[in-house]
């Protein structure tokens, strides 16, 4: 049996966890050289994602948002990885990546328009908990997990075939790694050296199933190795570790050297979605332990120790964005809803005859409902 | 004008479209050096290279998922599924993504791709090389489903499918890949999606059918004419969704009798939708019941496939039923 001649991909990086700062914000090794402004931007994006996340929870409880998948605790991986992309690159997020959306340039208003399905919803009310926008090269996530992974590979290959200097990045959870799409995507990406970066948010729980029930592999990152895709395991709550690793992976993809699988080890501090009750399957003490490791506090301590944030700066950033986002929420809550006809639009490039007939049926039924005084919303 | 079979016509359609538009790429299992197991992609790799004629790993889910990503980015992929019977691994990608990305993105993104695949029975292919699963695709909003029955239509419909802004499932009845030959223009032309073809004119019964069943219907029509002098019209639907309702209605205005023939199993086969559409909207045109002749409601058998599929006898029985009502 012939054995591959190429040197094997490092198992070490796939098994050990890379981190730059510890849980109290102290450097554990050499620190990457990153300009102060970018460090403060990183921090600000994470804070914005956290505030927006808590608003989406509130708005769901108020009955204004159909469903929300909380991001709390996972901001570092979302923000850190996405900051490694250029504007022309493409993002294929999952439904739990508010930080990534903000980094790509989507505003809180655009995100809230989406969540509240206002008249300005860019996705025209198609589904809950998903976000995307062509303006920012963000392809809206499908809710069936891992579906977007082969798309990220296909777009990366298309860019390669067309000679475009484009990298794609996709996010997905630990549960996703059990699906066939993960296998197909990693396999194709490895074979064709697609310029794609896979970012796994290993948040320990796929609803109630712990990562140990998803796989007997020692890590998620090690799965890449078998596909010929370097797998790198990082502390997903350490934004500096995620950012530097993603930057290397993006550069590698851009150089034509192929894909990378990054496993960001993190924790979902909230429920799976607003329809979930995590007290049924995990202990409070486990959650409390991860609260102590959460990424924003940790990065703040680092920035303060380095003197990049002065006394009161962190509070100032928080207060500024808290009031800006609150203003945006008030503005968006006041917007009119989408008109009914959107439910029959965008199925095809031009409506087929059955949809034309069904549009007439919809219009007539709306008139009749009004006459009958029946409220359907 | 050169005489071609369907394989040659499809090959020429791909070649012409790849020359015309460099965004068109072909991907699938064995589509490169092997030229596809039925040779539809033969020689393309020599002209267009490995970047545009892509032999993939053996994974329908990967082929379709990756083709979707390519189409999102701006290519016009033509993805081959070696036999449509193997498409089910890709079903989540087809139903949840290929069909829904335009809707999910509020029209911001689209997936202009073609899934082409040999389908249907008649070559003793057994359970997993003979299926006619068009109903699944027709039932999925966002997809266009096509099945040609002649080399001329195969070329023109495939070219139209590649140029379509919407995703197309293009099913090729493999039993007539090489048996039907006809003149096919050596130049660029398209056959419009959504339009049926009148194959045989008649006054007494309209037979709506497609794919290889067109030829079974023609034989049954001849038999009915010889035996009873009945005049049978045969309509080849060509595009199964959105189907050409106007052509069916126009024909029924003359014949007032409808028989639908397809290889797909009867229960919830496309005939159910066509029949229901006519019954719901044009019942006044009909003199009596609609008859359907379809594959039996079983998995496709290896043995006695000519009895399983609609044949001259079963179609004739249906003609008799509607004529003698």
Label the pairing between strands B3-4 and B182-183. antiparallel
User: Is B129 among the residues known to form the active site?
Assistant: yes
Helical ranges in B164-302 per DSSP H: 213-228, 245-255, 270-281
Contact yes or no for A124 and B106 at CB 8 A: yes
Residues B95, B45 share a domain = yes
Residues B209, B106 share a domain = no
Q: What is the pLDDT of residues A213-255, one digit of tens each?
A: 999 999 999 999 999 999 999 999 999 999 999 999 999 999 9
- How does residue A9 score in pLDDT terms, banded at 50, 70 and 90? confident
Percent share of chain B, pLDDT over 70: 100
Question: How close does chain B come to A163, measured CA to CA in Å?
Answer: 11
Unique residue bearing structure tokens 């998995």: B299
Number of separate domains in chain B = 2
Last residue of a domain, one of B157, B183, B209: B183
Q: Indicate if the pLDDT at residue A138 is higher than 90.
A: yes
Contact A91, A65 (CB under 8 A): no
Please state, in angstroms and rounded to a whole number, the distance separating the CA atoms of residues A320 and A314: 10
- How does residue A7 score in pLDDT terms, banded at 50, 70 and 90? low
CATH at residue B227: 3.40.50.920
Residues B224, B294 share a domain = yes
Best B63, B65, B87 member to test A by mutation, with max A CBs in 10 Å, is B65
* Segment B173-178 mean pLDDT: 98
Query: What are the angstrom distances between the C-alpha of B101 and each of A141, B104, B107?
Result: 9, 5, 8
- How does residue A4 score in pLDDT terms, banded at 50, 70 and 90? low
**Domains along chain A?**
12-333 (3.40.50.970), 340-372 (no CATH)
Q: What is the pLDDT of residues A15-38, one digit of tens each?
A: 999 999 999 999 998 999 999 999
The confidence score (pLDDT) of residue A3 equals 57
Q: Which of B158, B114, B242 is nearest to A351 (CA)?
A: B242
Contact yes or no for A123 and B96 at CB 8 A: no
Label the pairing between strands B291-295 and B258-265. parallel
Contact A18, A236 (CB under 8 A): no
User: Is A267 among the residues known to form the active site?
Assistant: no
Residues from chain B contacting residue A346 (CB–CB below 8 Å):
102-103, 105-107
Contact yes or no for A126 and B106 at CB 8 A: yes
Q: What is the pLDDT of residues A164-196, one digit of tens each?
A: 999 999 999 999 999 999 999 999 999 999 999
Residue B97 falls inside a structural domain = yes
The confidence score (pLDDT) of residue B151 equals 98
Q: What is the pLDDT of residues A89-116, one digit of tens each?
A: 999 999 999 999 999 999 999 999 999 9
Show the tokens assigned to B178: 């090489």
Residues B53, B23 share a domain = yes
Residues from chain B contacting residue A134 (CB–CB below 8 Å):
105, 108-109
Residue B39 falls inside a structural domain = yes
* Segment B83-95 mean pLDDT: 98
Q: What is the pLDDT of residues B233-242, one digit of tens each?
A: 999 999 999 9
Percent share of chain A, pLDDT over 90: 96
The confidence score (pLDDT) of residue A377 equals 73
Residue B23 belongs to what domain range? 3-183
Q: Indicate if the pLDDT at residue B28 is higher than 70.
A: yes
Residues B311, B218 share a domain = yes
Contact yes or no for A130 and B142 at CB 8 A: no
Contact yes or no for B66 and A150 at CB 8 A: yes
Unique residue bearing structure tokens 């799976």: A272
Residues from chain A contacting residue B66 (CB–CB below 8 Å):
150-151, 153-154, 157, 184-185, 188
CATH at residue B101: 3.40.50.970
Task: Kindly report the average pLDDT of chain B as a whole number.
Answer: 98
Residues B213, B159 share a domain = no
Residues B300, B233 share a domain = yes
The confidence score (pLDDT) of residue A10 equals 86
Q: Which of A344, A334, A325 is nearest to A124 (CA)?
A: A344
Q: Indicate if the pLDDT at residue A5 is higher than 90.
A: no
Question: Out of A281, A292, A319, A324, which one is annotated catalytic?
Answer: A281
Residues B112, B12 share a domain = yes
Residue B189 falls inside a structural domain = no
Q: What is the pLDDT of residues A264-317, one digit of tens each?
A: 999 999 999 999 999 999 999 999 999 999 999 999 999 999 999 999 999 999
Residues B234, B177 share a domain = no
Contact yes or no for B72 and A154 at CB 8 A: yes
DSSP A173-233: ETGGGGSHHHHHHHHHHHHHT--EEEEEEE-SEETTEEHHHH-SSS-SHHHHHHTT--EEE
Could you tell me which chain A residue has the CA closest to the CA of B57? A188
Residues B271, B129 share a domain = no
Q: Indicate if the pLDDT at residue A321 is higher than 60.
A: yes
Last residue of a domain, one of B148, B183, B218: B183
Contact B91, B266 (CB under 8 A): no
Q: Indicate if the pLDDT at residue B259 is higher than 70.
A: yes
ipTM metric: 0.96
Task: Kindly report the average pLDDT of chain A as a whole number.
Answer: 96
Last residue of a domain, one of B183, B205, B221: B183
Residue B150 falls inside a structural domain = yes
Residue B192 falls inside a structural domain = no
Residues B278, B153 share a domain = no
Buried b (16+ CB within 10 A) or exposed e, B179-211: ebeeebeeeeebbebbebbebbebebbbbbbbb
Question: How close does chain B come to A6, measured CA to CA in Å?
Answer: 20
Residues B226, B155 share a domain = no
Question: Out of A50, A151, A268, A293, which one is annotated catalytic?
Answer: A268
- How does residue A6 score in pLDDT terms, banded at 50, 70 and 90? low
Contact yes or no for A153 and B69 at CB 8 A: yes
Helical ranges in chain A per DSSP H: 12-15, 36-61, 75-82, 98-104, 108-115, 148-162, 180-192, 211-214, 221-226, 239-254, 284-292, 295-305, 313-333, 353-372
Q: Which helix (H) or strand (E) holds B206?
A: strand B205-209
């Amino acid at each position: 049996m012939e054995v591959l001649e190429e040197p094997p991909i490092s198992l070490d990086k796939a098994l050990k966890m890379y981190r730059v700062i510890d849980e109290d914000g102290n450097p554990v090794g050499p620190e990457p050289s990153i300009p102060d402004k970018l460090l403060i931007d990183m921090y600000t994006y994470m804070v914005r994602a956290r505030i927006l996340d808590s608003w989406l929870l509130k708005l769901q409880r108020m009955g204004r948002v159909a469903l929300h998948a909380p991001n709390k605790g996972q901001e570092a991986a979302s923000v850190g990885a996405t900051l490694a992309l250029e504007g022309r690159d493409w993002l294929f997020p999952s439904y739990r990546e508010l930080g990534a959306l903000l980094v790509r340039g989507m505003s809180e208003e655009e995100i809230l328009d989406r969540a509240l399905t206002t008249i300005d919803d860019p996705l025209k009310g198609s589904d809950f908990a998903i976000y995307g926008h062509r303006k920012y090269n963000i392809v809206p996530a499908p809710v069936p997990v891992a579906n977007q992974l082969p798309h990220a590979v296909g777009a990366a290959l298309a860019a390669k075939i067309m000679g475009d200097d484009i990298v794609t990045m996709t996010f997905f959870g630990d549960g996703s790694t059990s699906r066939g799409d993960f296998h197909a995507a990693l396999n194709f990406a490895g074979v064709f050296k697609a310029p794609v970066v896979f970012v796994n948010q290993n948040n320990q729980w796929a609803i109630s199933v712990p990562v140990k029930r998803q796989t007997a592999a020692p890590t998620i990152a090690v799965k890449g190795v078998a596909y010929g895709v370097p797998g790198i395991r990082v502390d997903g709550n350490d934004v500096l570790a995620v950012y530097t690793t993603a930057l290397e992976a993006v550069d590698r993809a851009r150089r034509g050297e192929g894909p990378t699988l990054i496993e960001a080890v993190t924790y979902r501090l909230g429920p799976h979605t607003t329809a979930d009750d995590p007290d049924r399957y995990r202990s409070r003490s486990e959650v409390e332990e991860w609260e102590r490791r959460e990424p924003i506090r940790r990065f703040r301590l680092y920035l303060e120790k380095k003197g990049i944030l002065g006394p009161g700066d962190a509070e100032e950033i928080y207060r500024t964005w808290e009031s800006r986002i609150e203003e945006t929420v008030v503005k968006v809550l006041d917007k009119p809803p989408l008109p009914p006809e959107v439910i029959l639009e965008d199925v095809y490039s031009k409506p087929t005859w059955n949809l034309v007939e069904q549009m007439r049926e919809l219009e007539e039924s709306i008139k009749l409902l009004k006459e009958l005084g029946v409220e359907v919303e | 004008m050169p005489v071609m079979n369907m394989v040659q016509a499809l090959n020429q359609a791909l070649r012409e479209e790849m020359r015309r538009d460099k965004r068109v790429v072909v991907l699938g299992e064995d589509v490169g050096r092997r030229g596809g197991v039925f040779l539809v992609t033969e020689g393309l790799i020599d002209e267009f290279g490995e970047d545009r004629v892509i032999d993939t790993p053996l994974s329908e889910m990967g082929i379709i998922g990756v083709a979707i990503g390519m189409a999102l980015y701006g290519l016009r992929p033509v993805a081959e599924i070696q036999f449509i019977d193997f498409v089910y691994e890709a079903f989540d990608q087809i139903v949840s993504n290929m069909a829904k990305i335009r809707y999910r993105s509020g029209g911001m993104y689209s997936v202009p791709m073609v899934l082409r695949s040999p389908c249907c029975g008649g070559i003793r292919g057994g359970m997993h090389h003979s299926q006619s699963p068009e109903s699944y695709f027709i039932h999925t909003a966002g997809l266009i489903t096509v099945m040609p029955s002649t080399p001329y239509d195969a070329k023109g419909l495939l070219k139209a499918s590649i140029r379509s802004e919407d995703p197309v499932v293009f099913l090729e009845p493999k039993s007539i890949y090489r048996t039907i030959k006809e003149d096919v223009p050596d130049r660029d032309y398209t056959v419009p999606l959504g339009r049926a073809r009148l194959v045989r004119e008649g006054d007494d019964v309209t037979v709506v059918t497609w794919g290889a069943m067109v030829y079974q219907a023609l034989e049954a029509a001849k038999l009915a004419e010889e035996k009873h002098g009945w005049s049978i019209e045969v309509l080849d639907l060509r595009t199964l969704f959105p189907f050409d309702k106007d052509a069916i209605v126009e024909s029924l205005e003359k014949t007032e009798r409808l028989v639908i023939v397809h290889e797909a199993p009867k229960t919830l086969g496309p005939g159910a939708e066509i029949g229901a559409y006519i019954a719901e909207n044009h019942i006044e045109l009909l003199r009596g019941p609609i008859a359907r002749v379809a594959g039996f409601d079983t998995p496709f058998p290896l043995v006695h496939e000519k009895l399983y599929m609609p044949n001259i006898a079963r179609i004739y029985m249906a003609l008799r039923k509607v004529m003698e009502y």
